[in-house]
Amino acid sequence: MTTTHALSGIWEPNRLEHMYYGPSSVEKHLSSSLPSSSSKAFIITGSSLATKTPLVGQVEKILGPQHHAGTFSNIKQHAPVAQLDEATDAVAKDPAIDTLVSVGGGSPIDSAKAISYRTHEKTGKFLYHIAIPTTLSAAECTYGAGYTNEDGIKTGIGHPQLAPHVIIYDARFGAETPQKLWLSTAIRSLDHAVELMYHPTAAEVPAKTMALAAIEGLFTHLPKSKENPKNEDHITKLQLASFNSLFALGTGINKGLGLSHSLGYALGSPYGIPHGITSCLTLAGVVRLKSRNPDDATQLARILPFIGQTRTGDDEADAIKVGDAIDQLVNELGLTSTLKQYGVGEDQVAKIAKTATKSEEGELYDKVSSLVRSML
């Protein structure tokens, strides 16, 4: 098991074989990333990418008739199970398909993982997975997959064999992403990195060192990306920061990431709030709440030098400064919002707190209830 002790621990990596980055990486590396010269690849993506950008068409062209077995382009936000069922059925129709190519953000990438999981249940074989992310949510870095069941509740599955084999970060693909989605999913990556810092079983190396690098990269390059959204250097550096935020999670984490993520799941699919936005709403407040715990505050205080500030030696005060800096960054990026803007009122506070804490009373429940009220 991994541990918070810097001098004792273990890190268990996932099965990633290759990670490519830079402009035109898809064109350069997609074909050679296929597991064999006879591979048949099925593309999993969303309708906006397929109809409003040239990206999916480019991927289909690169694969060509020799490798392209089909495309499912109706994956929706939070990966509803109805579309997941349709995509799984489409893949199952052709037993020659051995590869999934996910193009998009967390929903297509997680859907591809879930399809591979379901395929394994039926055939005993997992599918090869090449992920081409267009957002900064970092779903490509884990072996877990989330989708929304018929009741609107986010459901998760996980298996070490579900982590993508290949990740291709292409700045020209990232450049097609709407700015609000791009910036807000970067805050989702920040959420990953910050919560890794106080996760009880996160390894010191490489998990926390990569998380700190991610935090530094996000704070440095997000304002620059907002000012110059088509700059390929800024895009690439943010993609690499996103990778740093979650890849080092590995396979040794035995719990969810943390309270901000739990709140994100409680707010996301039930109320139709994108996960990038949920992180904008929850992360700063959770950091301030965590600052009251000495162990958590010590880990959070380590972030200050990576965001251009100096530690004072008072861990609680320094952790609060981290929360304030996150709030300031969210505001600077134009991402400040309230739950009321998404139709969530006071009457939903108890339900959200219960879902996030898995309890209906107690100190944590009360603190989370107050935190949710502050987001209204």
Report pLDDT digits (tens) over 213-240: 999 999 999 999 999 999 999 999 999 9
Q: Is the pLDDT of residue 7 over 70?
A: no
Instruction: Give me the pLDDT at residue 314, please.
Output: 98
CB 260 within 8 A of CB 323: no
Q: What is the pLDDT of residues 16-70, one digit of tens each?
A: 999 999 999 999 999 999 999 999 999 999 999 999 999 999 999 999 999 999 9
Beta-carbon contacts of residue 48 (< 8 Å; ≥ 6 apart): none
Tally of CB atoms within 10 A around 268: 22
Instruction: Give me the pLDDT at residue 351, please.
Output: 96
- pLDDT grade for 5, boundaries at 50, 70 and 90: low
- pLDDT grade for 256, boundaries at 50, 70 and 90: confident
SS3 20: strand
Instruction: Give me the pLDDT at residue 49, please.
Output: 95
Tally of CB atoms within 10 A around 359: 12
Instruction: Give me the pLDDT at residue 375, please.
Output: 97
Angle at which helices 363-375 and 275-290 cross, to 10°: 130
Q: What is the pLDDT of residues 140-170, one digit of tens each?
A: 999 988 777 777 766 788 899 999 999 999 9
State both tokens at 242.
């996103």
CB 45 within 8 A of CB 22: no
- pLDDT grade for 209, boundaries at 50, 70 and 90: very high
Q: Is the pLDDT of residue 10 over 90?
A: no
Mean pLDDT of 67-74: 96
Q: Is the pLDDT of residue 3 over 60?
A: no
Triad 254, 190, 100: Cα angle to 5° = 65
Percentage of the residues of the chain whose pLDDT score is greater than 70: 96
Q: Is the pLDDT of residue 1 over 50?
A: no
Instruction: Give me the pLDDT at residue 191, please.
Output: 98
Instruction: Give me the pLDDT at residue 82, please.
Output: 81
More confident residue, 317 or 257: 317
pTM, 2 dp: 0.94
Mean pLDDT of 337-346: 96
b/e per residue 323-354 (b: at least 16 CB within 10 A): bebbbebbeebebeeebeebebeeebbeebbb
Strand partners for 72: 44
Q: What is the average pLDDT value for the chain, to the nearest integer? A: 93
Q: Looking at residue 40, what DSSP letter applies? A: E
Taking the C-alpha atoms of residue 273 and residue 78, their distance in angstroms, rounded to an integer, is: 9
Instruction: Give me the pLDDT at residue 304, please.
Output: 98
Tally of CB atoms within 10 A around 19: 18
Beta 154-158 vs 128-133: how paired, if at all? unpaired
